[in-house]
């Protein structure tokens, strides 16, 4: 298939707002791409050449290089590109315009195929080392010399992460269902396959080539991360038992880093919550797993926590984060020793065990973990009594943990990969009336500080994630509660994400002095949710405007373990708002 076809489809999708119609149009092009190219179309549409967990270099060039590429391809001065970029704020539109104006002889240009575009972008991503910048520019200029203006627009947007179609992963799944099965009903099978293999391009290929039945038998496999199950939250023990009961397994909620451990003989790979390989960060955990996990092949999940080597007690989460440093891993392993508390098993001796009920998985887990101080299962017990649940909760808090997670143990309590369901319900010490819990928001912009804060940021603009439209609508401006250290850290971290203009994925009516790529996730506490004319989260779904968080403050915790798409969603905020209203009546 030629790339121009896909570019035209992107153009069409951008121009309409209805998600059903967007899905329908995308489904047609997916069908046309067929088994040979559908994987690449999916990857390009997601703006990622490979899933994160493969650890392959990704597309993404800085604005400076994009300007150079466009200027060379359009035989014009970089100054002209910059001027046009200032006016439009969109390097894709600039490329389209300047290429159309340039004297570039398109007569002899080759038609660009999807495969060629994908492979060139991949080759550019993989070009490293001395002189690589020059090489990258040359390859990209070559690609643009064969591109029509509209193709150039989308190549540049893809390269700079500015593609904004308003279709998230779930929209692509819907489109695949329509394209290859002809009905949306198939989406649950496609979603399941995606959740267990974490590679939507591969899922698309299997579906196009071998059909739905082959997709249904895709199983988890060691080496490929399974999308993690998440917990809902409630503050009333009675309600918790009602939702997940009649009996629940109440486990301590440890405050560390979630790790998915894949073991195949002596090979051990660790994946983070955002599905990145973090094996190198925890060489000691790898050793412990080799020695103390009695299974040839398995996938386990646990919480990695920092411990005090003298007392054996747990240390705060901030200590554990020192392990994130890429250098000095050996010294760090000594300074910040860790323990792992396992809470689930998803694969065992060649078999996917996610469909087993929680009670059975726990038994299996007990049989493979050889315990010691450093390696053990989470503390927990089964109860049907709300009073007992509260006692375990208090014990957990008294021994320095965050709270508890109550897990359903009934026949239907499978491990639900990739979903946040009522099968796991968390109860934390911080839950009170009002907003009850912190939220995780994406920093999208900042306002310069004045007076004492000159040279730093005075306030930051934060967004939730809207899964339906794959956008980041703002939900609050945070200007208070920062310590001096926090302000310095904010400046340092956020400046790495600065972009010249607002990202097309960010929806904001509030002006900022500096805009950032939606990348950094922070934890925020607030008093309550209110309807606001200023913020865009949930606008159109609620009467009177969007949602805003009142009196938001940064807790100081950077959620490095979360991808921006794993931030609190608009859907979550609406749920919090409705709960809060329910309580107020």
Residues in contact with ligand ATP by the rule CB under 6 A: 230-231, 251, 253-254, 258, 303, 343, 378, 405, 426
| Whether residue 134 lies in the annotated active site | no
CA distance 441 to 275: 19
Report in angstroms how near the CB of residue 316 gets to ligand ATP at its nearest: 14
What is the pairing mode between strands 521-525 and 248-253? unpaired
Marked catalytic residue, from 22, 153, 233, 253: 253
- Cα(38)–Cα(41) distance, rounded to whole angstroms? 5
Q: At what angle do helices 187-197 and 169-180 cross, to 10 degrees?
A: 130
Q: Residue 303 CB, nearest distance to ligand ATP (Å)?
A: 4
Burial class of 531 by CB neighbour count within 10 A (0 to 12, 13 to 18, 19+): middle
- β-pair partners for 529: 549
- Least distance to ligand ATP from the beta carbon of 567, Å? 9
Closest to ligand ATP by CB, 99 or 423: 423
Contacts of 399 (CB under 8 A, 6+ apart): 252
**Closest CB 231 distance from ligand ATP, rounded Å:** 4
d(CA 384, CA 249): 9
158 vs 378 by CB, closer to ligand ATP = 378
CB 377 → ligand ATP: shortest distance, Å?
A: 9
Minimum distance between the CB of residue 426 and ligand ATP, rounded to whole angstroms? 5
Tell me if 428 sits within 8 A of 437, measured CB to CB.
Answer: yes
Bridge partner residues of 448 (DSSP)? 457
Q: Which pair of structure tokens corresponds to residue 106?
A: 């398109």
Q: What are phi and psi of 16, to 5 degrees?
A: -110, 160
Shortest Å distance, C-beta 258 to ligand ATP: 3
- Give the relative orientation of helices 114-126 and 149-159 as an angle to the nearest 10 degrees: 40
45 vs 543: CA distance, rounded Å = 33
Residue pair 515/460 in contact by the 8 Å Cβ criterion: no
Helices (H), 47-159: 63-73, 78-88, 91-101, 114-126, 132-145, 149-159
Q: Nearest-CA neighbor of 4 among 160, 196, 147? A: 147
Residue (146 or 572) nearer to ligand ATP, CB: 572
- Residue 307 near residue 257 (C-beta atoms within 8 A): no
Shortest distance (Å) from residue 344 CB to ligand ATP: 7
Residue 530 DSSP SS3 = strand
Half-sphere exposure of 454 toward its Cβ, with a 13 Å CA cutoff? 3
Closest CA to 285 of 308, 306, 310, 255: 306
- Is residue 279 within 8 A of residue 269, CB to CB? The reply is yes
Q: 314 or 474, CB closer to ligand ATP?
A: 314
Question: What angle (nearest 5°) sits at the alpha carbon of residue 482, between those of residues 478 and 487?
Answer: 100
Per DSSP, 470 falls in state: T
Q: Which is nearer to ligand ATP, 169 or 560 (CB)?
A: 560
Rg of the chain, C-alpha, whole Å: 25
In this structure, the strands spanning 338-348 and 375-377 are parallel
Other residues' Cβ atoms within 10 Å of the Cβ of residue 322: 12
The angle at the Cα of 201, spanning 197 to 205, to the nearest 5 degrees, equals 95
Integer CA distances (angstroms), 281 to 21, 86, 114, 333, 405, in order? 45, 41, 37, 9, 27
CB of 583 to ligand ATP, least distance (A): 20
Helices (H), 338-385: 358-368
Least distance to ligand ATP from the beta carbon of 358, Å?
Answer: 10
Catalytic amino acids? 253
């Amino acid at each position: 298939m030629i790339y121009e076809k896909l570019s035209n489809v992107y153009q069409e999708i951008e121009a309409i707002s209805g998600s059903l119609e967007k899905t329908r149009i995308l489904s047609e092009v997916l069908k046309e791409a067929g088994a040979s190219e559908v994987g690449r179309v999916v990857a390009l549409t997601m703006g990622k050449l490979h899933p994160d967990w493969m650890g392959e270099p990704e597309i993404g060039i800085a604005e400076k290089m994009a300007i150079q590429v466009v200027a060379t391809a359009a035989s014009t001065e970089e100054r002209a590109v910059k001027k046009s970029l200032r006016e439009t704020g969109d390097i894709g539109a600039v490329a389209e315009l300047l290429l159309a104006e340039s004297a570039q002889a398109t007569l002899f240009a080759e038609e660009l195929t999807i495969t060629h575009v994908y492979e060139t972008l991949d080759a550019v991503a993989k070009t490293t080392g001395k002189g690589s910048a020059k090489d990258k520019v040359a390859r990209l200029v070559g690609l643009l010399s064969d591109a029509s203006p509209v193709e150039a627009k989308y190549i540049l947007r893809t390269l700079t992460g500015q593609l904004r179609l308003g279709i998230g992963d779930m929209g692509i799944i819907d489109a695949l269902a329509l394209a290859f099965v002809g009905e949306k009903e198939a989406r649950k099978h496609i979603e399941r396959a995606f959740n267990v293999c974490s590679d939507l391009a591969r899922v698309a290929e299997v579906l196009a080539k071998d059909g739905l039945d082959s997709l249904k038998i895709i199983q988890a496999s060691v080496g490929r991360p399974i999308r993690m199950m998440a917990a809902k939250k409630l503050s009333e023990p009675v309600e918790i038992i009602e939702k997940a009961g009649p009996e629940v397994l109440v486990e301590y909620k440890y405050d560390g880093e979630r790790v998915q451990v894949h073991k195949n003989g002596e090979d051990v790979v660790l994946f983070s919550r955002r599905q990145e390989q973090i094996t190198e960060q925890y060489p000691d955990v790898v050793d412990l797993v080799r020695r103390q996990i009695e299974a040839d092949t398995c996938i386990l999940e646990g919480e990695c926590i920092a411990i005090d080597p003298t007392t054996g007690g747990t240390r705060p989460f901030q200590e554990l984060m020192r392990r994130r440093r890429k250098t000095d891993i050996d010294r760090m392993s000594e300074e910040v020793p860790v323990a792992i508390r396992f809470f689930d098993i998803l694969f065992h001796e060649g078999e996917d065990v996610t469909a087993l009920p929680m009670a059975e998985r726990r038994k299996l887990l007990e049989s493979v973990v050889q315990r010691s101080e450093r390696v053990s299962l989470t503390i927990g017990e089964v109860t049907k009594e709300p009073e007992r649940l509260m006692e375990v909760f208090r014990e957990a808090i008294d021994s320095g943990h965050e709270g508890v997670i109550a897990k359903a143990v009934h026949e239907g309590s499978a491990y639900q990969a990739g979903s946040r369901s009522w099968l796991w319900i968390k109860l934390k010490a911080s839950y009170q009336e009002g907003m009850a819990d912190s939220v995780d928001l994406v920093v999208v912009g900042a306002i310069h500080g004045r007076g004492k804060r000159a040279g730093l940021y005075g306030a930051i603009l934060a967004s939730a994630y809207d899964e339906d439209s794959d956008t980041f609508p703002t939900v609050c401006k945070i200007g208070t509660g920062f310590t001096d250290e926090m302000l310095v850290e904010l400046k340092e971290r956020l400046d790495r994400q600065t972009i010249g203009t607002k990202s097309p994925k960010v929806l904001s009516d509030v002006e900022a002095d500096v805009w950032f790529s939606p990348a950094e996730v922070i934890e925020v506490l607030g008093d309550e949710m209110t309807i606001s004319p200023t913020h865009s989260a949930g606008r159109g779904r609620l009467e009177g405007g969007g949602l805003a968080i009142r009196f938001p403050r940064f807790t100081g915790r950077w959620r490095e373990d979360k991808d921006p798409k794993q931030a609190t969603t608009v859907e979550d905020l609406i749920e919090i708002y409705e709960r809060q209203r329910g309580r107020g009546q």
